[in-house]
Chains A and B, each alone.
Chain A
Amino acid sequence: MQKLAAEFVVAADACDRMQKEFCRDADALLFRKFAKQRTIKKGNRGGAQGHYAVTPSGELLAASSSADSKVLVEMMKQGLAKWATLSREKRLLPKSPDPKAAENWRRKEKLYPDDGLALRVIARDQKRERWPDSNLDYAWFRKDEARALLPAKPKKGAKQNVPSELVQRLARFHLLDNVHALNYTFFPEEAIEKARLTSTVLQVKGDLVSLSFEGETRASMVSPKKIGYEPKLLGRATYNLKKQKFVSFELLAVGMRWGLGNCNQRHNPAPALMGIVFTLAGESPAERLPPAFVSRYGW
């Protein structure tokens, strides 16, 4: 499959925006041109989701909505075969696409906190109901927000109550059930019944401040049925005072979740344990993707 994939420029992107008829962004117009040509008789994941082999001009070469790797390999082979039959004029756009056009729809990416804290967020059930049983998102903190996670004057034993707005933000937009799929349901402010996180300085060695975290949150609402999550929080981290950055970070949330969500493929609303881990994000382009609800951060 890797050998076949090397014949393509491989890309992954969200199609929520691009598939909407009213969206006039350049990428969306091109996307809908080939997505509309697709005919999936079975195994459609819904909407325009799936795998596509396409030309830069927007010609559909082949498509699949199957999770079967054999089907994907066959689709790639079909796509390459069709590609080989097309003239250069058919394959390519009449003029080079404008990179600046993307500025219209990639504003969230510009919010990436280069000098702050970017965390990878993984959620998983205690007991697997089905696969996939974990999902991934990101959480961002600006430089001043990251610094507020530890005491202003860090010395051994010093404690810091993390500012309420930051803990609330975690509870509203990151302590969510997206285990099986993206959850469009976040918790409104009034759903947050508890949101507390305390950091304690364990040690200061040179520029490095070692911390522990302890806290709890509870979010509960009716939308239209009861949804909630009540985790306990524990963690540890190291902050470099000279670099003014976290150099290690772990925050673990474990507690009961209940109810369903919007699009999150949760079919059993019964209360069950769910864990969520926050760790430092990497540096690759994929690790810099914006959090699902970053537009609600108020940045």
Chain B
Amino acid sequence: MKQILFMIAVVMGQSVLAADEFQEKELTDANYAKWRDHVLPKNWELSYRKIPWRTSFWDAVIEAQARDKPILLWAMNGHPLCNT
């Protein structure tokens, strides 16, 4: 999903290459904000988290069974919404 969002961002002309231009070296009080802003994700990088993901497959099975709906599962080594 993150890869998909990357492609969407490219299409939309987002500045996904900004990180290539980041030149700050050792962390200092003076460049603290630049480093922080460089590392923190941009809004478009977090857009996949706005989807109302159930965070466990079993929760989805219980809900889908009750609502008679199919399940769309994103499965990864490491949780896709955390550390994958």
In the assembled complex, the Cα of A59 lies from the Cα of B69 at a distance in Å of 12
In the complex formed, the residue of A with least CB distance to B45 is A134
In the complex formed, the residue of A with least CB distance to B65 is A56
Q: Can you list 27 pairs linking A and B with CB atoms under 8 Å apart?
A: A5-B51, A8-B69, A9-B70, A10-B60, A11-B57, A12-B79, A14-B75, A14-B80, A15-B75, A18-B57, A49-B77, A53-B71, A53-B73, A54-B71, A67-B4, A79-B72, A93-B61, A96-B66, A126-B25, A132-B6, A137-B82, A252-B32, A252-B36, A277-B39, A286-B53, A288-B55, A292-B83
Is A69 within 8 A of B4, CB to CB? yes
Decide if the interface of chain B is mainly helix, strand, loop or mixed: mixed
Decide if the interface of chain A is mainly helix, strand, loop or mixed: mixed
In the assembled complex, the Cα of A48 lies from the Cα of B20 at a distance in Å of 33
Chain B residues, CB < 8 A from A191 = none
In the assembled complex, the Cα of A11 lies from the Cα of B65 at a distance in Å of 14
In the assembled complex, the Cα of A96 lies from the Cα of B54 at a distance in Å of 18
Q: Which of B38-64 contact A (CB under 8 A)?
A: 38-41, 45, 49, 51-64
Is B75 within 8 A of A9, CB to CB? no
Is B72 within 8 A of A51, CB to CB? yes
Chain A residues engaging chain B, CB cutoff 8 angstroms: 5, 7-16, 18, 26-27, 30-31, 35, 45-56, 61, 67-69, 72, 76, 79-80, 83, 88, 91-93, 96-97, 99, 101-102, 106, 122-128, 131-138, 178, 181-182, 231-232, 234, 250, 252-255, 263, 273, 275-277, 279, 284-286, 288-292
Is A289 within 8 A of B68, CB to CB? no
In the assembled complex, the Cα of A106 lies from the Cα of B56 at a distance in Å of 9
